[in-house]
Structure 1
Amino acid sequence: MAALVNGAVEAFVRAAAVELPGRQRINAVSPTVFEESLDAYGDTFAGFDAVPVARAANAYVKSIEGHRTGQIFLVE
């Protein structure tokens, strides 16, 4: 179910970026599990490399303050 939702979000971002007027932008940030939440969710993300929240925060800043649109920023 999560893969279905993630695929839908990514497809929406790419399609909406083409349709947005003017200087409006849309992007998505896709981190794996956060290091800080491994105790609670680590078993759900077996085999995934955990990332620090600070790295994901940088991806959000890049998504908002950058000039690209329709992008999926993978945080690995």
Structure 2
Amino acid sequence: MDELKSFEQDIQKEGFKTENLEQEKNEDGTYSITISREDGVDYPLIDDVTDLIIEIAQNHNGEYDGWESPVILSKRG
């Protein structure tokens, strides 16, 4: 759990918000956290963001398991 808390602190330094911190262990013995941050959607930027999350997770003996994104349509006048 200490590694998860340390990850949370480091990821917040990168502008992410933590949304869901599972205090109890998952079925496989791991902990999980949901993070969010608004970013652009071009491939180089998303790759950089993903690489950052992977690096920080690995620094805390964690594993990145993917991302989700809502689709927000722009208003056209």
- Give the alignment's TM-score, normalised by structure 2: 0.30
Q: Which has the higher contact order (CA 8 A, sep 6+)?
A: 1
- Taking structure 1 as the reference length, what is the TM-score of the superposition? 0.31
Question: Where is the helix percentage greater, Structure 1 or Structure 2?
Answer: 1
